[in-house]
Structure 1
Amino acid sequence: MKEWGRFLLIGTLSVVPLLVVIQVVLWLKSLSLSFFDFLSTYTNSSLYTAIVIVVALLFLIILGYFIEKTGRFFILSWIEYALEKIPAVRTIYSISKKITDMFMQNGDGSKKEVVLVEYPKDNVWVPAYVLNKYENTLVLFVPTSPNPTSGYTVIVDRKFILPTTLTLEEASKFIISMGADYIKKEEIAKKITEHQSK
């Protein structure tokens, strides 16, 4: 019975990733159908709804292209300018824009930095995203597992962090997998060892 229980546990754990993928696909399908039905109530035609969706997707692709190449898009600039004139909306828009900008490239085309920081105490290292910096002071977002969108915002001196070559995607995989997806482990282990030997 003990072995059967172990086999059951192993079998269950082996299909969990597949079940998660199926659940996400079903959720996206449900969301897409709900959105399609919502649009159809206004257009009164499946053809017009499909055209609206295709045009919206093309617009987002063009928008992404211009933002990546130039860093700005004139239509968005006008909308941002108008929103900055409305006090309550300005604050909400500014905060949400800074959060989304964290996951995009910098204006010079460079990637956002991922560093290691000792948090919540010495000799405990966690990956963190660099949100902002001024001279030797860094503003970091320390995400929590398994949800990288929740976490803590901390301000630290540059001497307390270890730079890495991790990308946002690699760091997010590490956080979501709760460390099971241990990317660039040799580099990270070497940096921590070197730091401790100082």
Structure 2
Amino acid sequence: MKKYIIAGLLTWLPLAITVWVLLWLLGLMDSMFGAVLSLTQAVLPESTRTGLDELRHIPGFGVGVMVALLLLTGVFATNMAGQWWVRKWDALMHRIPIFKSIYSSVKQVSDTLFSSSGNAFREAVLVPYPHAQSWTIAFVTGKPSAEVAAHLDEEHVSLYVPTTPNPTSGFFLMMPRSQIRPLRMSVDEALKHIISMGVVAPKGATPSAAPGAKPHP
């Protein structure tokens, strides 16, 4: 019976987690739509508020509105006029006390991670961690700042070492470039390998080496 229960669990678990993540995203977007709707009602005449309240009860309407809003914002922000307004908006946000420190930090991180021209999380590497006889997968996030690099003897790279099975937490390391070993696997394949605790091997992976063998770059 235990074997059948486990087999059933393995069959339904991926679907259940997928549905849970999708429901969480839908709930988040509905909440954002509710906040936008509440702000809109605050500036409109009271006679129109009843009609707007009915929009909250239309299934999927909030998600569609938020997707359309994100799409239109992206189109606007990528043209010349939109970029000018985005720069003005950023300048305004950086003048607000307390708020500016949070906003600027989040913007720097998001621009680095999601920019198509950025190098963060573009490469998976093998690094000796937590000691020289053990190895783990890390992601290159950049290079140390000039002040930090001035105290280092050779060229170093900045690394993010995710934890398993939750890759959203981890460790920030700076290691000599000579000690890291590039991997052919993509970032997505490396994340799957980490989250699955090594169970899900990257496509085209070679058979495991004999114990004590050194990993190949």
Residue matched to 2:202 = 183
Residue matched to 1:25 = 22
Aligned-pair CA distance for 1:143:
0.9
Runs of 5+ unmatched residues, structure 2: 42-48, 56-60, 145-153
Find 2:129's aligned residue among 119, 127, 137. Answer: 119
Runs of 5+ unmatched residues, structure 1: none
CA, structure 1 residues 111+153, in 2 after alignment: closer, same or farther (shift >3 Å)? closer
Moved more, 114-123 or 97-106: 97-106
Aligned-pair CA distance for 1:27:
2.4
Q: Matches of 2:169 and 2:136 in 1, distance apart?
A: 14
Aligned-pair CA distance for 1:39:
3.6
Within a 5 Å distance, the mapping from 1:50-69 to structure 2 comes to 53=66, 56-62=69-75, 66=78
CA, structure 1 residues 55+106, in 2 after alignment: closer, same or farther (shift >3 Å)? closer
Give me the TM-score of the superposition, normalised by structure 2: 0.66
Q: Spell out, residue by residue over 1:65-93, the C-alpha distance to the aligned partner (whole angstroms, 9 max, x if none).
A: x39xx9x9433333333444456444433
Q: Work out whether residues 104 and 112 of structure 1, in 8 Å CA contact, stay in contact via their aligned partners in 2.
A: no
Q: Work out whether residues 145 and 175 of structure 1, in 8 Å CA contact, stay in contact via their aligned partners in 2.
A: yes
CA, structure 1 residues 153+20, in 2 after alignment: closer, same or farther (shift >3 Å)? same
Find 2:114's aligned residue among 82, 89, 104. Answer: 104
Aligned-pair CA distance for 1:187:
7.0
Moved more, 18-27 or 54-63: 54-63
Residue matched to 2:46 = none
Give me the TM-score of the superposition, normalised by structure 1: 0.71
Percent of residue pairs bearing the same amino acid type: 30
Aligned-pair CA distance for 1:138:
0.8
Q: Matches of 2:3 and 2:206 in 1, distance apart?
A: 35
Find 1:132's aligned residue among 142, 150, 158. Answer: 142
CA RMSD of aligned residues (A): 3.8
Aligned-pair CA distance for 1:103:
2.9
Residue matched to 2:103 = 93
Q: Matches of 1:112 and 1:31 in 2, distance apart?
A: 28
Q: Aligned letter for 1:103?
A: L
Find 2:192's aligned residue among 163, 170, 173. Answer: 173
Residue matched to 1:158 = 177
> Which one has the bigger helix percentage?
1
The size of the alignment, in residue pairs, is 188
Aligned-pair CA distance for 1:132:
1.9
Q: Aligned letter for 1:136?
A: E
Find 2:166's aligned residue among 144, 147, 166. Answer: 147
